Every structure is written in structure tokens, then in C-alpha cells.
């Protein structure tokens, strides 16, 4: 029996005759972390945005927890927490206010707002204006936003971008905890050591195409320490 929480089959994206993503198949089970790795313009964000229901695929089907975006968008959206790679916060809002706004949209209680701020180490900054935050602090706030409703699937676009080594490590721990709770996670990264640390399975992308994939365990057995660099080189050949 196929126990995948997320099923992506034959999903592609073409805009004005330009193929951004060639048909791709992905499956993610509960408690599994999938990393999309690839260089600039490889198609990572486009794939994540299609799974998040923000961008309509040109072909293919996507379902999360048995719900198809095409059939029931509202229910589909409740299954997903999405952390974009770039987000302009409204000027003048504090971290607590920004998170409370998203919480209200999802009927999430105020206590959960405080809890998620604590999870990402922003509790003491909750009344500070978001526009005064550093890049890493904004990333942590976006991460908190994606966790608010405790959804089965977390989709994160370059989540460790701008994080200092301490928060990089904290992020890895948070993802491991969330994974243990049975959530499925898909994220994109340029940082192969991050993928090595948290991912179970890696898909390498190049020019909108899946050019190789495998489990981190498999790559480690094959290439030893820091295996994804060697695996990516091989995939690009
Ligand atoms: N709305 C759009 N219209 C036309 N082309 C687009 C659009 N969005 C993205 N692209 C192109 O699609 C390709 C894939 O972009 P995408 O943002 O998915 O890559 P990425 O792997 O996330 O890159 P990066 O690591 O730089 O964020 C790029 O060539 C990009 O220029």
C-alpha cells in the first residue's frame, strides 16, 4: 500500500513556451524529509510553489493527505505550512502582530503564536518591529509562521538562508523534532551539508529537470563523509 502523504506525479511548469520544470514525480511519507538541491534557477522554488498551491502546474497531479488541490483548495491549504524564500513584511508590525495576523487567518489561538515565537528564539523580540529584524531573524519568523497551524506538510524554500551557525544548528534540531512528530517536510537548499544533516532523501535538480535522486544513507554508503557534493557532481555528468 502506498502510504505517501504527498504525491506529485507528472508535474511540470511551462510559461510562455519556456519549460521551467520538466515533468517530475515525488513522494513523501509522514516523518520523512525531502531536500531539493540544485543551483540558481534549477526550478526548486517553482516546484515548491506548485506543491504549496500558489502556482498552478501546467501538467500533472498533486495530492496531500489524499486531498487534491484541483478538487478542494480550502481543505488542501489546511494541510500545508509554507515558508517562502522571500517575503516583504508589512511595515510597522511587531513580530507578535505579524504572526497573530497569520494565526487569525488560520483560527490558531494566541498561545500558539507565543509558543512558535519561543520555538524560533524570538520570544524576547516579540514586540520589536519586524522591519528592524536581521535577515536571519526574519527567516526565523517566517519559519514560525509555517509552523503555526501544526500542518502535516511543511514546505520550506531556502529555510537556512541567512542563518548564523548557531541558528543553523537550532534549525536542524527543530526539523528533526518536527519530523519525529510525524510531519512530512520538503525544502530547497543550496547548502548540501544542511541536506546531509536533516534530509532522508535528496532530489538533485538542474535546468528544471530531476537529474538524480537517492537516500542520504545510500549516498553516504557510496561516497562516505559529505557525500552529497560527490553525488551532485555525478548527477550533473
Ligand atoms: N514567473 C516566471 N516567469 C518566467 N520565468 C520564471 C518565472 N519564475 C521563475 N522563472 C524562471 O524559472 C527558472 C526556475 O526558477 P526557480 O526560482 O524555480 O529556481 P530556483 O532553483 O528556486 O533558483 P534559486 O536557487 O536561484 O532560488 C529560472 O530560470 C527562472 O528565471
pLDDT score of 147? 94
pLDDT score of 162? 84
Residue 108 has pLDDT above 70, yes or no: yes
Q: How many CB atoms lie within 10 A of CB 187?
A: 25
114-171 pLDDT tens trace:
999 999 999 999 999 999 998 889 999 999 999 999 999 999 999 998 888 988 888 8
Q: How confident is the model at residue 60 (pLDDT cuts 50, 70, 90)?
A: very high
pLDDT score of 26? 98
Instruction: Tell me, in angstroms, the distance from the centre of ligand 1 to residue 70's CA.
Output: 23
Q: Is 120 a domain residue? A: no
Q: Which ligand 1 atom is at minimum distance from the Cα of 190?
A: 25
- In this prediction, residues 207-218 reach a mean pLDDT of 96
pLDDT score of 170? 86
Q: Is 73 a domain residue? A: yes
pLDDT score of 226? 85
- The residue contributing the CA closest to ligand 1 atom 31 is 41
Q: Residue 81: which CATH number?
A: 3.40.50.300
Q: How confident is the model at residue 23 (pLDDT cuts 50, 70, 90)?
A: very high
- The residue contributing the CA closest to ligand 1 atom 28 is 41
Total structural domains within the chain: 1
Q: Quote the domain boundaries for residue 47.
A: 4-85+152-236
Q: Is 136 a domain residue? A: no
Which of 38, 42, 85, 195 is the pocket-test mutation for ligand 1 (most atoms within 8 Å of CB)? 42
* Cα(7)–Cα(26) distance, integer angstroms: 6
Ligand 1 neighbours (beta carbon < 6 A): 15, 20, 38, 40-46
Q: Is 95 a domain residue? A: no
pLDDT score of 154? 97
Q: Is 19 a domain residue? A: yes
* Cα(26)–Cα(134) distance, integer angstroms: 34
* R_g over Cα of the chain: 18
Q: How confident is the model at residue 2 (pLDDT cuts 50, 70, 90)?
A: confident
Q: Is 71 a domain residue? A: yes
Q: Is 104 a domain residue? A: no
User: Which residues fall within 8 angstroms of residue 33, CB to CB, at 6 or more apart?
Assistant: 175, 179, 184, 185, 186, 187, 198, 199, 200, 201
Enter the ipTM: 0.96
User: Which residues fall within 8 angstroms of residue 36, CB to CB, at 6 or more apart?
Assistant: 44, 47, 48, 186, 187, 188, 189, 203, 205
180-210 pLDDT tens trace:
999 999 999 999 999 999 999 999 999 999 9
pLDDT score of 87? 84
- In this prediction, residues 93-108 reach a mean pLDDT of 94
Q: Is 174 a domain residue? A: yes
Q: What is the largest CA-CA distance in the chain?
A: 51
- What is the pTM assigned to this prediction? 0.94
Instruction: Tell me, in angstroms, the distance from the centre of ligand 1 to residue 199's CA.
Output: 23
pLDDT score of 1? 63
Pairing mode, strands 153-157 and 184-189: parallel
Amino acid at each position: 500500500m502506498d502510504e505517501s502523504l504527498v504525491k506529485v506525479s507528472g508535474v511540470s511548469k511551462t510559461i510562455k513556451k519556456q519549460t521551467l520544470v520538466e515533468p517530475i514525480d515525488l513522494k513523501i511519507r509522514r516523518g520523512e524529509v525531502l531536500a531539493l538541491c540544485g543551483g540558481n534557477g534549477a526550478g526548486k522554488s517553482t516546484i515548491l510553489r506548485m506543491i504549496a498551491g500558489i502556482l498552478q502546474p501546467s501538467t500533472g497531479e498533486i495530492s496531500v493527505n489524499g486531498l487534491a488541490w484541483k478538487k478542494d483548495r480550502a481543505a488542501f491549504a489546511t494541510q500545508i505550512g509554507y515558508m517562502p524564500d522571500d517575503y516583504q513584511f508589512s511595515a510597522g508590525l511587531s513580530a507578535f502582530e505579524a504572526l497573530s495576523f497569520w494565526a487569525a487567518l488560520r483560527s490558531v489561538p494566541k498561545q500558539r503564536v507565543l509558543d512558535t515565537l519561543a520555538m524560533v528564539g524570538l520570544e524576547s523580540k516579540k514586540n520589536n518591529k519586524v522591519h528592524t529584524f536581521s535577515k536571519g531573524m526574519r527567516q526565523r519568523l517566517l519559519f514560525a509562521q509555517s509552523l503555526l497551524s501544526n500542518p502535516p506538510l511543511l514546505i520550506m524554500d531556502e529555510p537556512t538562508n541567512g542563518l548564523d551557525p548557531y541558528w543553523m544548528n537550532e534549525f536542524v534540531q527543530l526539523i528533526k523534532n518536527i519530523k519525529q512528530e510525524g510531519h512530512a517536510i520538503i525544502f530547497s537548499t543550496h547548502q548540501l551539508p544542511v541536506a546531509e544533516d536533516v534530509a532522508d532523501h535528496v532530489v538533485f535538480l538542474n535546468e528544471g529537470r530531476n537529474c538524480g535522486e537517492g537516500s542520504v544513507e545510500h549516498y553516504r554508503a557510496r561516497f562516505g563523509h559529505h557525500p552529497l557534493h560527490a553525488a551532485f557532481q555525478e548527477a550533473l555528468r
